[in-house]
């Protein structure tokens, strides 16, 4: 992200949304790097959108129809909320070596 102001806003937003969901911001940054390569308008072959590659069905399930998954705060709010949900289902993160 070459634009310093945008990069700082991005990092502040990641920190806020990750902390709000009880997640490590560095883990969220790692997920974004893998899922979208930090591309705001990334769309996967199955339709996942934005930085955190959120599937559109989540908007219908937990949001409102006018939520735009390409907006930074919206994408991070959904992504962190969904990640927290799945971590809670699994009772934490386990790593098999």
Q: Which CATH number do you get for residue 77?
A: 1.10.530.10
DSSP track, 23-71? --HHHHHHHHHHHHTT-TT-B-TT--BTTTTB-THHHHHHS-TT--TTS
Secondary structure element (H or E) that encloses residue 77, with its range: helix 72-89
14 in any annotated domain? yes
- The reply to whether the predicted model has a pTM over 0.85 is yes
The per-residue pLDDT for range 41-77, each reduced to its tens digit, is 999 999 999 999 999 999 999 988 899 999 999 999 9
Query: Does any domain span residue 51?
Result: yes
Q: Work out the number of other CB atoms within 10 angstroms of the CB of residue 69.
A: 22
Residue 96 has pLDDT above 70, yes or no: no
What domain range includes position 44? 4-89
Could you give the number of structural domains in the chain?
A: 1
Mean pLDDT rounded to a whole number for the chain? 93
* 48 occurs within a structural domain: yes
Query: Taking phi first (over 0 means left), then psi (-120 to 50 degrees means alpha), and beta for anything else, what does residue 13 get?
Result: alpha
Residue 95 lies in a domain: no
* 94 within some domain: no
**The pLDDT of residue 90:** 85
Range 9-37 average pLDDT = 97
Is residue 75 domain-resident? yes
């Amino acid at each position: 992200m070459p634009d310093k102001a945008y990069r700082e806003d991005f990092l502040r937003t990641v920190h806020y949304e990750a902390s709000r969901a009880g997640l490590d911001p560095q883990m969220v940054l790692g997920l974004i790097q893998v899922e979208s390569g930090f591309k705001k308008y990334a769309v996967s072959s199955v339709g996942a959108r934005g930085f955190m590659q959120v599937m559109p069905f989540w908007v219908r399930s937990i949001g409102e129809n006018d939520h735009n998954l390409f907006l930074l705060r919206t994408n991070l709010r959904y992504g962190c909320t969904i990640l927290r949900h799945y971590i809670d289902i699994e009772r934490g993160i386990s790593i098999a070596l």
